[in-house]
Amino acid sequence: MSAGWQVAGELETVPALQRPELLAAPVHAALARLPEPDVARCAVAPIDPGLADTAALCEHYGIGLQACANCVVVTGRRAGEQRWAACLVLATTRADVNGVVRRRLDVRKASFASQHDVVAATSMEYGGITPLGLPEDWPVLLDPAVVAAGELVIGSGIRDSKVLIPGDVLARLPGAEVLDGLGRPLY
């Protein structure tokens, strides 16, 4: 267990920039650009890549589902222009893609981007997608519950690790927007 991170469960965390091999290159670069007070509040932890999916991660490492946030990439077209957004919601919710996200992107139909397109556009591994280090022109849509969270476990850009980060740091990422109603209860 790691000292200092209440949500870490059995994860062994270290300051995020101390283990660049545990971060996708764009994620490392994004963390390195954060102001010192924010990056000092971020950690990374190695995991079994077979346990990168949220439910398996939580069960194996003793992490509460409410302490994890999932990032999904959504896309849609308007007047021939493809529009993208990353949505970060608590793992206890799902992103309201066809309501809140569709309206924010101003598209007729929004859908989850294909695995191939997401990997190509982000230089991250599928299953490790994170709001850190995304293309600069993508909005990062955050549910208010994510921003309010003191500590969260999110993707690192690879399946071999997770980033631990406070919600208020996520709210200060370039392109971050807090959208009421983004996260909808699973049931």
Q: What is the pLDDT of residue 118?
A: 96
pLDDT, average across residues 100-105: 96
Q: What is the pLDDT of residue 4?
A: 64
* Residue whose tokens read 């390195």: 32
State the residue range of the domain holding 27: 14-172
- For the chain, how big is the Rg over CA atoms in Å? 15
Q: What is the pLDDT of residue 8?
A: 78
Q: Is residue 71 in a domain? A: yes
Q: Is residue 182 in a domain? A: no
Element (H, E) at 111: strand 110-112
Q: Is residue 4 in a domain? A: no
Q: Is residue 61 in a domain? A: yes
Q: Which residues of 42-64 are buried (b: 16+ CB within 10 A; e: fewer)?
A: bbbbbbeeebbebeebbeebebe
Q: Which residues of 78-101 are buried (b: 16+ CB within 10 A; e: fewer)?
A: eeeeebbbbbbbbbbbbbbbeebb
CATH number at 136 reads: 3.90.960.10
Q: Is residue 80 in a domain? A: yes
pLDDT of 167-178, one tens digit each?
999 999 999 999
Record the tokens describing residue 6, joined without a space: 């209440």
Q: Is residue 9 in a domain? A: no
Number of domains in the chain: 1
The pTM of this model reads 0.92
Q: Is residue 5 in a domain? A: no
> Is pLDDT of 149 > 70?
yes
Percent of the chain with pLDDT over 70: 96
Record the tokens describing residue 8, joined without a space: 């870490």
> Is pLDDT of 2 > 60?
no
Count the Cβ atoms, other than its own, within 10 Å of residue 18: 9
pLDDT of 104-138, one tens digit each?
999 999 999 999 999 999 999 999 999 999 999 99
Q: What is the pLDDT of residue 186?
A: 81
3-class secondary-structure state, position 82: strand
> Is pLDDT of 58 > 60?
yes
